[in-house]
Each structure stands twice: as structure tokens, then as C-alpha cells.
Chain A
Amino acid sequence: MTRLDAPFGSRIDRSRPISFSFEGQRFTGYEGDTIASALAASGQWMLSRSFKYHRPRGAFSMAGAEANTLVQVGSEPNLAADLTPLAEGMVVSAQNVNGSLARDRDAVMDRLGRFMPVGFYYRTFMGPTRKAWLKWWEPLIRAKAGLGVVDLAARPDGFDKSHLHCDILVVGAGPAGLAAAIEAAEAGADVILCDESPDLGGRLTYAPEAEVDLTALVARAEALPALRIMTGTVCNGWFEDNWLPLIRGKALHRCRAREVILATGGIEQPAVFRGNDLPGILTGGAVRRLIRHYGVRPGTRSVILAGTPDGLGAAEDLLDAGTRIAALVLPRDLPGHAERIGRLRSAGAEILTGRIEAARGGTHVEAVQVGGRWIDCDLVAVSVGHAPSWQLPCQAGARLGYDDATCRFSLDLARDGLHLAGSVAGHAGTAAVTADGRRAAVAALHALDIDAEDVSPCQDVELAFAHCALPLIPHPKGRDFVDFDEDLQVKDIVSAVREGYRELELVKRFSTVGMGPSQGRHSALATARIVAAATGRSVAETGVTTARPPVGPETLGALAGHGHVEERRTALHARHLEAGAEMRPVGAWWRPYLYGRGDRVARITEEVRAVREGAGLLDVSTLGKLEVRGPDAGAFLDRLYTMAHANQPVGKVRYCLMLNEMAAVIDDGVAFRMADDVFYVTATTGAVARVYADMALWNAQWRMRVDVANLTAAFSGVNVTGPKARDVLQALSSEIDFSPAGFPYLEGRIGVVAGIPVRAMRIGFTGELSYELHCPSSHAPALWDAVMAAGAPLGLRPYGLEASRILRLEKSHILIGQDTDALTSPDELGFGWAVSKTKAFFVGKRALEMRRRLGESRRLVGLTFEPGTEAPGESCLVLRGGEPVGHVTSVAHSPTLGRVIALAYTHVEDAAPGTEVTIRARSGKLVTGRVAGHAFVDPENRRQEI
């Protein structure tokens, strides 16, 4: 164990040991540890194998910035071991290994690097034979792809979603964010402060400064009632109107803030040298986190690369932790820090000028090369400066600039309601960062019309040496990694440019740099510098690649939340269940598929026969129901539908066919003119939302004197159909005359049936005598009961959706969306009769005329099949001369005809009744169908008009 005594280890509770396993071996940590810190304390540094070369990898930033630390915990893959809190009994395993982490058979890939140059996969998998891809490469890649293992049986329990609102959201609780949040909340604003760390203070928690009392600052923040503190929370994106997802554990909080202050700090950058990816090489910040947060002594003999004063702080902490400093490597002078360097020299550190050229080791760093000399060590701390956390600002439209002279990035963000604060805004020293946080808070407060005094800027003396850019010289032997996630070396980026990919976005796509889980946090700066050098441009001209949400990985479970399913029920739902219906979802609706148990085919056949021979009752409540009312209602429908409605007499029902501007059929239904200024219009179940929206849009454009109400749920409907339908209704007490003369086909009536107000329409989807009774939904159960009771002596029975589908198919009635597609024209359906030839305008008229000039290529026809023929399935192709010319849209066995019938698109020249067409059945067998007339049953339409 390499644990240090208190005060080191601010996050751990030594009184609460936690037992867990990693790669099958038992380990012990403390409450407050992360997986990585607990393993490091036990000397286990290697956490994973790299993506391509299977090189050993360990924690580098201790801030979740690289893919090195991704591990599998139980059934959950890809958790960052350096961020994931340790829990009792955790079963942790390494990812991307073939065998075990220690004995990874794929480690041999590290020796095959020369065969896998950048972009090799774009060329390699093309051969050597035409079938090589499917035979060799695809199975190989499938076996090697991915990191963790998905547990397909895992239940998405515990995910949660909610919304948050605030005046000011402060992202990042470092010195700038903390100061901003306190300033804003004390001024009276409603503030949320979020940070991914479990504690407040950011870098002050591991790099304390004598002049800042963090404990007092945190206490001050926690005492503010207007300040909601959300630690352990990742702000994973910025979207328009200051909408930001905050992810805390399994909960997604969708935050809407009037003002946002981004105090996201910086990302400590790696140094690029051969072997820079070995476990035991960490950023200076990571070293300090291990010591101060977790009480872990990260090594016994260290080398520090101090490009910035942060490196000196890491060295001082290491000395305090009892680690010997073998060498302090200074790439440049650090004026003003001579005294600190002198103390380190006195403590035994050799002070070297230059840079680290290479590191070596097996599964852990063993030595580094400086000035050609190898220095033994088991820990390397690199401090070469930070890049601003540009992801959130850039998602909000910030432009990233770079000053090649000072090696400083800058972010230019000009957007109302959004402020940068602290080091992400280009400040370095704690005093300057804090002052900038307060300044941002005041700016946000002013935007909210809350009084606040301006804050004077603070001189930032530490800025001058806060950034450092070491030379990026490719090592002759490579393995100088720019991107740890994707195993990309300096030469890979140079090669990508040589291939002709001069722009950074192209380099990214060719090399995959920045495309791993860390999304360029460690690679973007170095890549930009390499590309700039290779193309003779400045880094500012080269830029960085586009930043898009999410900032970090997020689970699909968090996005899905509670997982509730949309569900709609008709008012007759309980009646169907009571009648033994098998309910099935149709879109969001539950509908009775059939009634009763037992042989389904027999049940459906009985239901069809009941309608053809007696009477059946169908719940048609899911039909869209629109009331179009106003002085211009008829004229409005004339423009929307293909038939004429302005001249439709009151009391008449007329078929409606709706086209889009391409003359494609998008809906059909009927319109019942209830009064001069009121039409009751039905639409198909699936299309009514769209039809209603279209009507609202057209109405807004045409500005006619019309109101449209969507009464789909307000009204329910039942279809009483069959030769005995009239007898059923006449058995009810009613003021409506249901006699043939009193209520002819395609007419409608308003009245009371069994004491219930109804809108009745004589239409015929089944081809039988049919009355659709619509009523306010609260009355629907009573209407159903009354009709069922009246029909019982006549053999009335409810029938379900499948019987309805067969009944309409026997009449060749189409279902929009099933028998039509996105291009179907009325002519292809043989619906020329439903298109007015005299109206000057309707939506789709012009396109229909143009399509008619082009001529038809297909036609929807009915097909019959000889008994014993293999029935084709829906979507089976219709062939002509071996070439596909159409497909089957609906098919069923007709109980009435005793054979299989279908609707299908055929070549227009094959549409004549009696023509034989060829269809490829599901088995691949070619079957013959014979084109029928316009209906299979009762083509003269006598039954529905009796």
C-alpha cells in the first residue's frame, strides 16, 4: 500500500474500507476513492489496453479526460475508472483485451504497427479477393470492435429525468465558478452551480494556495439559500436558448437558464515523446490529485517535466509525500521561481534543461531519456500547460484562437446570455481567475436587471508562464502518441497531411484523431500544431475541429429516462376487454384485433361471416374526426380535398381524398355536412394529426372564415354493419328514421339513439349495409351497451381489426399508408372518379395534371390466386419480364371467396381484369395472380345500398 496519512486524502474516509475486485483479484479501497485511485494505492496502475496496438495504459489525468481508464463494472461498460466512485463489492474488469489485461494475446499488435499506418483500413479491407471482406475482414473487425461488453439482459432501472430552471447556471465550481455563483446568489439571483467533481473548489482542492481559504469559501456558498449546488454533475452540452443537459448519476436534468456562466477551466495537456503513454506517466495535476484527494503516493522515484510553474507544485507535493525526485526537467526558464527550484535541488532533485525525449518500460514507466541520458524512475509528472475547455463555448458558437508567440489559446464568444469566466477565458492566477468569475457574475446580473457593482480586473502575473509549447518532433521509432484513444502518433498526423488532407477536419476523418471517447481533449492542440507546421500555417489558421454535444459519454438510459410508452385508449377499451378481445397496438392506440380465445383463423372467419351474413359491431373511435366550421367551410374543403364540397347538400356524406403538393394521396375519409357552415370530416387513424396540422397551416395562409377542431378523442364511433344492421338500429329507441327511404346511402343524420346524442352516417367500408354512429366519448360505453343489447336477438357480435381488414379487402377498399406510398397518385388507385374535373384549384391539382402528362407506370389492382397457390406476402415483388414493376400491398385469405386475394401494384398495361401477373413469393417461388375487377365481393355495390 502506498497510502499517505492525513491531511492527504481529502476525499477518502479511512474508517470505511471498501472491498472490490479488478480482473478477478481482490482489492481494498476507501469510501471516497475512485476505482483508479484505489487500484493505484495498491500498485495496480495498468487499467486497460489501447485501442489499436493493445499497449498497456493507465490513468493519465485523473480527471476522466482519456479513454485509458475505461473499464467494465458489472454489466455497465465504458465507465471512467478515474471518475467512478468505488462501491462495495464492485466487480471491475478491463476492456479491449484478448485473454486478460496482464496477458493480452493481442499485445502482439504493438509489433505490427508498420502494417497499420494511418488510414490503413480505408485500403486494407478491399481485397485480396472480391469476397475477402465478407469472408475475412468483416468477421475479424466485428470480433475486435468495441470496448466493453453490453449486457443485453440488463434492465434500464433507476434512470430519471427532470427539468431545472434558474436565473444563472454556473458550470464549473473552481475558483472562478465558485466566486461567480456566490456573487450572483448573494445579489439575489436564483443560481445553480454544477461541477463534475464530488467537491467544490476545482483546482484549489488539489493545488491549494495559502491566500485562499477554500473551506470558508465553500461554507459561504453552502449557506446561500438561492444557490443550488450540484456536485458530481456533468454539463454535457449547450443548446439554443441556454438549454443544458446536466447529468448526475442516472438522472438527466434538463436545465433552462436565463444566463449561463461557463467556468469550465482548462485541460492539462500531455507532452509528446516516445513512450509517453506508459502507465506511471501522469499530468502534474493528476499527481497532485492522487496525493491530495486520495492520499496515494504515486511513485518512489520521479522525474518532473515542468514547462509551467504547475510542475513545481507537483514536485513539491511529491517531496511532501515522500517521493524522491530524480530530476526536474525545465524546458525553459521560469523566472520568479528560482527559489522554489533551489529548494527542490536542495532536496536532491537534479535540475536539467531540455525536454523528455523518450520513456521506456514494460507495463509501467522505468526510465526516461533526457538529453540522451536515461534516468531511472517509476513516476513521470508532466506539466506543459492547459488548453481551455473549449467544448461548451464552441458549441455555443465561440471561435477558438491561438497566439503562436505566447502559445495561448483564446475563446471569442459573443452571445447574449452566455459568459466565460476564469481560465477558460484566458486567465491563469487564482486571484485573476476569481476576479474574472465575479466580473462574469456581475455581467449576468446586469443582464437580469439585478443591481451589482462592477468588479475591477486583477493583474494576472502568472499568465506569462502558464502555457508552454514543446517542440513536436517525430521520434524516429515512433510511439510518441498524440491521441491515446486512437493510438495515433506524430508521424500518423504528418502522414495524413502528406496524403493530401491539409484541413484539420479532413485530417480528423482520415486519421480518426479526436474521434475517441476523449473527443480531442488531449489531442486537438498537438494535432493543430503538427498540421500547422506541416502546411506552413499558424495554429490560429489551422483551428480546431467542430465541437458538438455531447461533451462526454452519456448513457442511452439517461436519455430515455423513465421509459414510458405513449398509449391511447378508446372510450370502449373496457368493453373490449370484457368481451374477451385480444388487444393490439396500432400506432399509439390499443385496438381489438379479434374477440375470444382459441383458433384465431376460425375466430376471424366467424367475425367476417357475421358481418356478411348478419350484423357486426366495430369500434371505429380511432378514426380521425375533424369539425370544419365557419361560413367558408365548404370552400375550404374544396381547396383541401379533390371532390366538391361547397355544393354538397346539408345531410349528405361525401368521400374525401386528400393529396399533397406532389399529387400523392395522403389521406381519405368522408365529410358529413351537418349544417351550411359545419362539416364533420373523418380522417385515417394514423394521418389525422398531420391532416389537422395541415389544415391549420393552410387556414393560416388562406385566412378563410373557418375554424377547425380536432375531435378525435372527443367523439367515439361504432360501425353497425351487415345485412341486419338496420334491424339492429330499428330495435333501438331513436328519433332517427333508419329506413331505406328515410336514411339513404351516403347520407348523415343528427339525432338521439337510445337517449344518446349521435351523428349517424350511412357509409360502407365493409361493403355491407352500414351505419356509423358517432357520439361524445363519455356516452360511448352506453351506446355500445345499447346497440349490443338491441342486436343480441339478431346475432350481432363485435368484430376486430383483422376481420375489418379482410372485409374491406374483399371490397378492394384501400388503406392509406398500406396500399399507398409516398408517390401514389389517385390515377394509380383508379380513383379518377374522386377527382373533380371542374374545380379551379385543390392542393395537388397542378402536380396531378403534370403527372398525367408524364403517363402512368403502375396501377393498384386486385389479384386472386387459385386455391393451393402459395400466398405471397405483403411487399412481395410483382415481376414483368423478370423485372420488378410493383409489389403486393395487402393480402389475406378471403373467407367469403375461399381463396387468397390481394391488392398489388402492377405494370399499367397489366391492369385489365383477367390478366395474369407474376409475383415472387417469400420462398422465392414465382406464383401467378389473376387481375380481378374493382371489387372481389359484390362489385355492383348492391349490398351496401340496400
Chain B
Amino acid sequence: MQATQTCPFSPGGAAEDVAPLLGQRDDLSVSDRSHWPRFGLKGSGSADWLADAGVALPAANRLSLSSGFTILRLGPNDITLLGDPAAPEALAALCARWEAAPGPKGYSSWREEAWAWLHLDGRALEDALARLCAVDLRPGRFVPEAIAQTRFAQVDAVVIRRGGAAEVFFDIAASAAVLRTIRHGGGHP
């Protein structure tokens, strides 16, 4: 992130007062990844451009892993790539390539600005997910490549599961409300 950027749970962010509810609790840890790199394309030409750039796209409403990022295909031409701050190079290179490319190449969906990104884990995770989301997210029922575009903690959200944990993407303006609902509506005092 650039020095001039502030995420909701960061100091000076819109939800800084609620940020203490984040943290590594024994039973349910909630960590903020809103500052993690991601890149979204939407609109006609998005899938074709990514395919031409060598990104192997999964089917619509499925996710897949690529070298350096995870690909969420939310629709035929609505694709978000999730990066990892520990190895941001591949995604950054792809972004730079897209910026420089002539059209048609789709349009930015601004997921890095529109979405908050929370990572949930811990032994109370399954119980919390059952309280917060109507979709059956239990391992074994929710296959690893599945994407739930649904309601979570009373807001529209995209939910995925990676490595046993759950990750939730939602309206960044609702960050404070969602974290409070996760903590108080997810079976925790």
C-alpha cells in the first residue's frame, strides 16, 4: 500500500474503534486482509484478456489457484485475482501489463477499494459460519473451488474457503458493522 492509503481497521480508518475486536482469539481469529493486494476486472473483454495473458480461468462461480495468486471467477466476465503480500510480484506484474495494454481488456472492478477482506479461522469457525451465513459452508459440503456470493453477517458478500479457513469479501463501508456482527452474532460474547 502507498503511504497515503488507509484501510478501515487501520489507525485513522473508519472502523479503527472496532479494530480491537480483530485478533487471535483461541476459538475464532479474525484478521484483516483489506490491505492485501488484489486486482479485479469486469465487463466485456476481461476474460479474453486474462486468458491471453496466460491466466487459466476456472468456470464461473469457481476459484482456482495460479502461481502467485488465487483466481475468483464471479461471473463470465467478472474476475478477481487475490494476491499475497509475501509474494506480490506475479500479481503486480499482471496489473502493470493490464494498465499498459490497449483495449479491449475489460475494466477495473476496483475490488481493492470496494471490498473489505477478512480471514476467519479457529475451532469455533464452523459454528460462527453457521450463524453468520445461510449457505452450507461446511467442509465436505462446500467444495474447495466453490464461491458463495451470498449474504454474510447481514451484508452482501463473497465467501471462499482456503486451507480450512474462511475468507469474506464485502462492502468496505460496512467493515465496522460486519466485524461487530461476527464477534457478537457469531456465538461469542
Known pairs A256-B136, A678-B107, A777-B113; A755 contacts B4 (CB<8 A): yes
Closest to B77 in A: A707
Q: Are B107 and A707 in contact (CB under 8 A)?
A: yes
Q: Are A629 and B43 in contact (CB under 8 A)?
A: yes
A562 to B: closest C-beta gap in Å: 4
Whether A879 is near chain B, meaning CB under 8 Å from some CB there, is no
Which one of A160, A254, A561, A627 has the greatest number of beta carbons of chain B within 10 Å?
Answer: A627
Whether B97 is near chain A, meaning CB under 8 Å from some CB there, is no
For B43, the chain A residues whose CB sits under 8 A away are 629-630, 707, 709
Q: Are A778 and B138 in contact (CB under 8 A)?
A: no
Chain A 693-734, CB-CB to B under 8 Å as 1, else 0, gives 000000000000101011111110000000000000000000
Q: Are A709 and B42 in contact (CB under 8 A)?
A: yes
For A572, the chain B residues whose CB sits under 8 A away are 14
A329 to B: closest C-beta gap in Å: 52
Which of B5, B8, B155, B180 has a CB less than 8 Å from the CB of A782?
B5
For B1, the chain A residues whose CB sits under 8 A away are 778
Known pairs A568-B174, A573-B14, A574-B14; A756 contacts B4 (CB<8 A): yes
For A352, the chain B residues whose CB sits under 8 A away are none
A571 to B177, CA, bound (A): 14
Whether A776 is near chain B, meaning CB under 8 Å from some CB there, is yes
For B141, the chain A residues whose CB sits under 8 A away are 165
Chain B 1-42, CB-CB to A under 8 Å as 1, else 0, gives 111111110001111110000000000000000000000001
Whether A781 is near chain B, meaning CB under 8 Å from some CB there, is yes
Q: In the complex, identify which listed stretch (B47-55, B64-72, B83-91, B126-134) lies at the interface while the others stay far away.
A: B126-134
Closest to B6 in A: A781
Whether A779 is near chain B, meaning CB under 8 Å from some CB there, is yes
A568 to B171, CA, bound (A): 9
Q: Are A164 and B42 in contact (CB under 8 A)?
A: no
Closest to A251 in B: B131
Whether A123 is near chain B, meaning CB under 8 Å from some CB there, is no
Q: Are A162 and B131 in contact (CB under 8 A)?
A: yes
Q: Are A165 and B136 in contact (CB under 8 A)?
A: yes
Known pairs A163-B133, A707-B42; A566 contacts B177 (CB<8 A): yes
Q: Are A567 and B109 in contact (CB under 8 A)?
A: no
Whether A161 is near chain B, meaning CB under 8 Å from some CB there, is yes
For A779, the chain B residues whose CB sits under 8 A away are 2, 4-6
Known pairs A574-B12, A755-B4; A566 contacts B131 (CB<8 A): no
For B16, the chain A residues whose CB sits under 8 A away are 574
Q: Are A778 and B176 in contact (CB under 8 A)?
A: no
Q: Are A570 and B110 in contact (CB under 8 A)?
A: no
Which of B7, B12, B171, B176 has a CB less than 8 Å from the CB of A713?
B171
A71 to B41, CA, bound (A): 60
Q: Are A709 and B14 in contact (CB under 8 A)?
A: no
Q: Are A711 and B114 in contact (CB under 8 A)?
A: yes
Q: Are B110 and A776 in contact (CB under 8 A)?
A: yes
Q: Are B15 and A782 in contact (CB under 8 A)?
A: no
Q: Are A564 and B113 in contact (CB under 8 A)?
A: no
Whether B184 is near chain A, meaning CB under 8 Å from some CB there, is yes
For B133, the chain A residues whose CB sits under 8 A away are 163
Closest to B46 in A: A707
Whether B181 is near chain A, meaning CB under 8 Å from some CB there, is yes
What is the size category of the interface that chain B forms with chain A? Answer: 35 or more
Q: Are B172 and A777 in contact (CB under 8 A)?
A: yes
A942 to B175, CA, bound (A): 42
Q: Are A627 and B131 in contact (CB under 8 A)?
A: no
Q: Are B185 and A568 in contact (CB under 8 A)?
A: no
For A566, the chain B residues whose CB sits under 8 A away are 154-155, 174, 177
A402 to B42, CA, bound (A): 59
A777 to B17, CA, bound (A): 18
Q: Are A715 and B113 in contact (CB under 8 A)?
A: yes
Closest to A578 in B: B12
Whether A154 is near chain B, meaning CB under 8 Å from some CB there, is no
Chain B 78-116, CB-CB to A under 8 Å as 1, else 0, gives 000000000000000000000000010011111011100
Which of B113, B131, B174 has a CB less than 8 Å from the CB of A778?
B113
Known pairs A571-B14, A574-B12, A630-B44; A565 contacts B130 (CB<8 A): no
Q: Are B113 and A776 in contact (CB under 8 A)?
A: yes
**Complex A-B: 9 CB contacts under 8 Å:** A161-B185, A164-B130, A165-B136, A256-B136, A707-B77, A710-B114, A778-B6, A779-B2, A782-B4
Q: What is the interface of chain B, defined by CB distance below 8 A to chain A? A: 1-8, 12-17, 42-44, 77, 103, 106-110, 112-114, 127, 130-131, 133-134, 136, 138, 141, 153-155, 171-177, 180-181, 184-185, 187
Q: A570-B173, A779-B6 given. 10 additional CB < 8 A pairs? A: A162-B187, A163-B130, A562-B184, A562-B185, A564-B180, A677-B103, A707-B44, A756-B4, A778-B113, A780-B6
